[in-house]
Amino acid sequence: MDNLLEQLQYLSPGEVPFEARISDPVLKYYATQNKELPTNLLQNCRRRIQDLRAMISLLDEKRSSLLKDLSSYTTTPELEALKCKRETLCEEKSAHIYLLAPFRHLPAELIAHIIKSSFPRILMTSSDRNHFLKLRHICPLWRSIAFATPELWRGLKVDTIPSGNTQNFFDTLARWYNRGGQGAEVALSIDLEMGFPYGQSNIDSFLSFLNGRKWIYLAILDLSPTNLLGVVAHWQEAPCSTERLTLTCSSRSPPTLTSAKPLSAILPRMTALFLNKLRLNPFQHSSITSLHLGRDIQLSSPQTLASLLSPVCLPQLEEVILSLTGLRQESNAADSTHAILSTNPMVKTVIVRGMKANCSLRWLEFPQLQFLRIEGLDGIWGRTNIKDVEDVGRIVARLTATPQFHTLSLENSGIYAQNLASLISIGAQQVRRLHVADYDFFRWIETSGSNLALRNLQVLVCTDTWSPYSLDGIISRGIDQVVQWLRSRRLEYEGPKDHTIAFYECPWEEEEMYAVDRPYKDNKYDEAVAMARTAGATILTRPKELIYDMVNYPLHCCSYKLASSEDRYSIQEADH
């Protein structure tokens, strides 16, 4: 459980202040300053360290002697006393060693940079805050610099609210953010399901904390329906300034997100919105550029979805992420004819997760689409499910046929390799950049003349080419098919004939990054890489984090996570 109060303090409860561990009053003064010790004090400090080490050594010898007779209960108190004395001496020794440490002479700006670099995410998790507490314990100088560096106090991820007085809890949060500076841009993700009692006074304490701060990201998770209505009602009187909002409800019967005032009036600066476990009707907002609808969003019909994504409702929308297991698909003319219900010329990025969300694309048109990702179709697509492959392939072919389209991302589609090859052959003729898990689909890819798949491909990014359980993804397993496709593509490629295609691989473990130089899973790997190179491809190995950045490079949404990666909140700067 988070203990924000303890993580906010200078010291942990019961901890002895650093300078109090030094008995010499002159040395104690230097323990609180960033000053170099004079020569005579340096000698005194070194002698004291030697004396302390000798005393600790004597205690260890005495303790070892006592431990030889473990059957005698009379030795237990003495052993405990020796243990306590040894710990005290060790703490004093560490304090004196600190006085001789070179890092004491680092400039304050460099120390601040070191601390800030330890926390690349704008949202500090509980483990981050514990690490932050330890850094503040290094010495008084580091502690004072940490408290004087406002950038470190501007973002929190709170998973659990401690039971008890909620006002005290939000007062603690306020003290944390106050160190970030008045008027600073701040971020918060807070889960209000556990430990947050119902009642107007509690939601008022939360809203009072939110007021007056310049939020760039605000995630309010698992609100009860009553508290959700309270938050929205409050924003009608005092609009929220956040630019990016995540809002979810904890109820099994999702409430309808309604407001007496337009959403653009209560959230005027919002550009990115993630909603889940809510019922939605179409709403209008002139500045939203990214919309993420979670898997438990309830929409009454395809027409409702089409209206919401239309330029009338969201004229600046550029990024759409859909899960939508709760989309009702009524039997009507639109469903039977797959008529286009909405066209939004501003949308450039689309991500769909699951079969229902994927099928919803049949009613949507995006003339300026550049990036399409399909995820989470595993469990539905078997080896012989050709009809579904063809249906989705036709949707993909239509959406990717725009002149601006460049990237099709299928690395987490969950589609069996043979069906994946069919989908790519049907729907990926114009793709210039393809993301897949591995090379396995090349065994079934079309390589003949006019039916050549991926004829305009320039970059292939593979997220899981090395596996400890199987070698199916290694390029050497299907190098003949890869080379055949590369040679056919070279003949049909519409760009320069000497163009080399780039294949990016992700090793399974970090130490396998240089597997090209030291392959041990497949001794034919070097030979396969050489064959690919002669056919017009360059194989490049990159670490996992860089591969994930490569496949996520266009995303600017609020709360999207790549399924095969760790939690990677895209609130981080995404200018890849």
Give yes or no: residues 88 and 115 share one domain.
no
How many CB atoms sit inside 10 A of residue 533's CB?
13
Give yes or no: residues 24 and 93 share one domain.
yes
**Residue 53 within any structural domain of the chain:** yes
Specify the pLDDT at position 379.
52
Q: What's the average model confidence in pLDDT over 128-148?
A: 83
Residue holding tokens 């989908």? 423
Give yes or no: residues 37 and 75 share one domain.
yes
Q: Of the residues 105, 127, 161, which one is the last residue of a structural domain?
A: 105
Q: What are phi and psi of 14, to 5 degrees?
A: 85, -5
Give yes or no: residues 129 and 86 share one domain.
no
**Residue 290 within any structural domain of the chain:** no
Token digits for 66? Answer: 């006592």
Of 378, 456, 470, give the one whose Cα is nearest residue 424. 456
Give yes or no: residues 88 and 118 share one domain.
no
**Residue 129 within any structural domain of the chain:** yes
Specify the pLDDT at position 149.
92
Specify the pLDDT at position 12.
43
CA 55 to chain centre: 50
Q: Which of 52-66, 314-328, 488-502 comes out lowest in average pLDDT?
A: 488-502
Give yes or no: residues 66 and 124 share one domain.
no
Q: Of the residues 46, 76, 105, which one is the last residue of a structural domain?
A: 105
The amino acid occupying position 181 is G
Q: Is the pLDDT of residue 275 over 70?
A: yes
Number of domains forming the structure of the chain: 2
pTM, entire model: 0.77
Q: What's the average model confidence in pLDDT over 223-252?
A: 87
Instruction: Spell out a b/e string for 361-381, using b for 16 or more CB atoms within 10 Å of the CB, else e.
Output: bbbbbbeebbbbbbbbbeeeb
End-to-end CA distance of the chain: 35
Residue holding tokens 């459980």? 1
Give yes or no: residues 8 and 101 share one domain.
yes
**Residue 32 within any structural domain of the chain:** yes
How far lies 322's CA from each of 146, 153, 249, 252, 544, in Å?
41, 33, 17, 20, 25
**Residue 314 within any structural domain of the chain:** no
Task: Quote the strand ranges of 83-212, DSSP E.
Answer: 155-158, 185-191
| Alpha-helix residue ranges (DSSP H) falling in 315-438 | 333-337, 355-359, 386-399, 417-427
Give yes or no: residues 123 and 91 share one domain.
no
Q: Of the residues 105, 139, 172, which one is the last residue of a structural domain?
A: 105
The span from the CA of 161 to the CA of 394, in Å, is 48
Exposure of 387 by Cβ count < 10 A (0-12 exposed, 13-18 middle, 19+ buried)?
A: exposed
pLDDT in tens, 451-469: 778 888 899 998 877 654 4
Domain that holds residue 90: 4-105
Q: What is the DSSP letter of 519?
A: -
Q: For the chain, how big is the Rg over CA atoms in Å?
A: 30
Give yes or no: residues 71 and 22 share one domain.
yes
* 378 close to 410: Cβ distance less than 8 angstroms: no
Token digits for 168? Answer: 């005290």
On average, the pLDDT of the chain sits at 79
**Residue 253 within any structural domain of the chain:** no
Give yes or no: residues 136 and 60 share one domain.
no
Specify the pLDDT at position 225.
85
pLDDT in tens, 151-208: 999 999 988 777 667 788 888 899 999 999 988 999 999 988 765 666 667 788 888 8
Q: Is the pLDDT of residue 572 over 60?
A: no
pLDDT band of residue 369 (cuts 50, 70, 90) is very high
Say which residue, 537 or 542, is predicted with more confidence.
537
pLDDT in tens, 51-67: 999 999 999 888 888 77
Give yes or no: residues 99 and 131 share one domain.
no
Give yes or no: residues 85 and 121 share one domain.
no
Specify the pLDDT at position 207.
87
**Residue 26 within any structural domain of the chain:** yes
**Residue 392 within any structural domain of the chain:** no
